Amino acid sequence: MPIPDSLIKQAMSVACAEARGWLGATYPNPPVGAVALDEKGAILAKAAHRRAGEAHAEAALIELCRSKGILGDVAALCVTLEPCNHQGRTPPCVKTIIEARIRHVVIGTRDPNPHVFGGGRNALRESGVEVTYGVEEDQCRQLIYAFATQVETGKPWVTVKRAFDEKGNMIPSPGQKTFTSPDSLRLAHRLRKRADAILTGSGTILADKPSFTVRHVADYKDRKRLLAIFDRRERVSPYYLEGAREQGLEPVFYTNLQDSMADLAFRGVCEVLVEAGPLLAQSVLDSGLWNMAVNIHKGQPDRIDVQFNPRATLPFDPDKWQWEYMLPNES
């Protein structure tokens, strides 16, 4: 008797949630989650890809089931992204699945990587594995928003985050660094948590000396990020840069937006978070080199509006967008 579709969908949502626990930690790889089901559709185990170089979600799940002695009970493996069929830092997941004798693989969405596209599904089917495709695809596509943008366009996903006071100003009063609520600060730091690079200007650094670390939510252990600085007049001090490096940031300098995005993409960056003053933030918006704008408006409570660039190619349907599909966990 086949596993009911309702349980398959529930399992895929669990796999997505598992992947979101590592959203922003896996660059340049996509976040991926996987769940093992028994013949009745009960969840036996779940796993996720945690960082580049470590086991992919499918391999981690199979090894977990093997260690628990339940691999033979797995009737279906649900995975948010098409399994890879090529050798990278880790062996092909398709081979691992076939060798584990998994009979049924449920895939959330295709892998946009041209080295994988369709090959994982086809290889599984050719080996006699039943493949179900496109389950909970909307949330699976949103989960890989940055990775899909990078491999499909050659550019990183760019999120512009701005905060405004009651009068529409972005600059806090003297002696203050922020004017938003604790909830808004946690949201801002979750955006920072998922980013591979933070883009700012020398004016912001000179005015606020921001640390650009993740503090209001738990960060990933030993997470490193690039700090992209626009500093045409070389005003940022060596002391600030030394402190940034001690906090796990690697400063890189730019004078041109187009060049900065091209270089960040070359470095393998999937997502850039723009945290800058009004002029630089507006320059990014005017350039069209952005995908998502998050505007936080101070109030009781704060109001948050989100916009997507109508000129950008998005890897998902913006009409079906939901916050929780694109935010990492707070802890």
> What is the set of active-site residues?
58
Is the distance from CB of 291 to CB of 177 less than 8 angstroms? Answer: no
Kindly give the interhelix angle for 278-287 and 257-266, rounded to the nearest 10 degrees: 80
**Nearest Cα to Cα of residue 197 among 281, 146, 284, 273:** 273
Dihedral sign (CA 6, 320, 79, 116): positive
Interstrand relation of 104-109 and 76-81 (parallel, antiparallel or unpaired) = parallel
The two tokens of residue 97 are 């699945």
User: DSSP secondary structure string, 76-137?
Assistant: EEEEEEPPP-S-SSS--HHHHHHHTT--EEEEEE----TTTTTHHHHHHHHTT-EEEE-TTH
